[in-house]
Structure 1
Amino acid sequence: MSEFPVLETERLVMRRVTSADFADMFLYLSDEKVMRHVGLPAFQTIEEVRDEVDWYESIYREETGIRFGISLKESNKVIGSCGFLNREAKHFRADIGYELSSHYWGTGIAIEAMMAVIQYGFQHLQLERIQALIEPDNIPSQRLVEKRGFIKEGLLRHYEYGAGKFDDLYMYSLLKGDQSS
């Protein structure tokens, strides 16, 4: 396995998270507004953050995904994460996932991070298709992916079970050939 990549944008450094980031991550992962559409309850302990980071490490090690901590260049503080999961290398596809501290909603940081991750996926992971699975009532997330050029393909009924309930999810996709940037 190669060295964990670092992605830089105008305002962000997207990097591997470490135990030094747990307290910053707990701030947004314990926020019910942030976690409402993630399929997990708001975190209650730092141990849950450790488990989340262990999952980031396992998907990277198994090459089924990669999750970047979104950190601000000026402070190196992790304010969210973005990356791929459920990567199917033989089918050249992966799901994109993300969450961002509610303090930074509406600032353009989510799209900035997403664009860097998408570029990484198409260029370095040789993805042909990037999927986004989004709850029907998560309008801001739908707008975010639509702004980036994702196409809504349909509704997957009771597709996931999380936080004690079954969730319907819209399937969005972006193909390598759809890129206009």
Structure 2
Amino acid sequence: MSIDSFPVIETKRLILRKITKDDAKSILIYLSDKEVMKYYGLAPFTSINDALDEISWYQSIESNKTGIRWGITIKERGIVIGSCGFHNNVSQHFRTEIGFELSRDHWGKGIAYEALEAIISYGFEHMNIHRIEALIEPPNLRSLRLIEKLGFIREGLLRHYEYTNGKFDDLYMYSLLKQEFLKE
């Protein structure tokens, strides 16, 4: 999965772009919200350094070619209100994992759907991906509905798959194959 220069993706309402250190303040705003972070696997952020560490992770997965993360911005405003992308790329098996979060102020407006549909299309058409996986905690009903609306199929439950915030989490494994998405 080669990513030569960072791809900017434009949709009807959004611009998905590279996140930089200049976005740390806006990232801190939404990643300090305990509702946004409820299923993120990290405690709510408390400092600008937490946001800068997150941005460093985005940059490291890109430079290591193990993923890519876009900042979600509304066209007229340009402020990062969430992020989405791929991580845990396994290029020899043509698969990756999708991840996303969005500021609570923008929940229920179709923004996450619009952003994910765009990056899924990009991944299948430009990154040589055949399978996209989504790992989601069972009580995260909003994300489950979103992923299912995008055509992902639930494959099973991974029991106590992750240990985050002092507890073991079960995760549903979902997947979407290239031919399933592109036939729509």
Partner AA of 2:63 in structure 1: R
TM-score, normalized by length of structure 2?
0.97
Partner AA of 1:74 in structure 2: E
Deviations 1:75-130 (A, max 9, x none): 10100000000000000000000000000000000000000110111011111100
1:7 to 2:41 alignment: no
Taking only aligned residues, the RMSD between alpha carbons, in angstroms, comes to 0.8
Among all aligned residue pairs of Structure 1 and Structure 2, give the percentage whose two residues are the same amino acid: 56
Q: How does 1:38-77 map to 2 (within 5 A)?
A: 38-77=40-79
What is the match of residue 102 of structure 2?
A: 100
Report how far residue 145 of structure 1 moved: 0.4
Distance in 1 separating the partners of 2:55 and 2:147: 25
Number of corresponding residues: 181
Q: Secondary structure of the residue that 1:97 maps to in structure 2?
A: strand
1:34 to 2:29 alignment: no
What is the match of residue 138 of structure 1?
A: 140
What is the match of residue 178 of structure 2?
A: 176
Partner AA of 2:143 in structure 1: S
Distance in 1 separating the partners of 2:21 and 2:64: 20
Distance in 2 separating the partners of 1:2 and 1:121: 14
Report how far residue 46 of structure 1 moved: 0.6
Distance in 2 separating the partners of 1:60 and 1:18: 13
Report how far residue 163 of structure 1 moved: 1.3
Partner AA of 1:109 in structure 2: I
TM-score, normalized by length of structure 1?
0.98
Report how far residue 68 of structure 1 moved: 0.3
Given candidates 108, 111, 126, the residue that maps to 1:109 is 111
Distance in 2 separating the partners of 1:3 and 1:130: 22
Report how far residue 165 of structure 1 moved: 1.1
Distance in 1 separating the partners of 2:115 and 2:94: 21
Distance in 2 separating the partners of 1:120 and 1:87: 15
Unmatched 5+ residue regions in structure 1? none
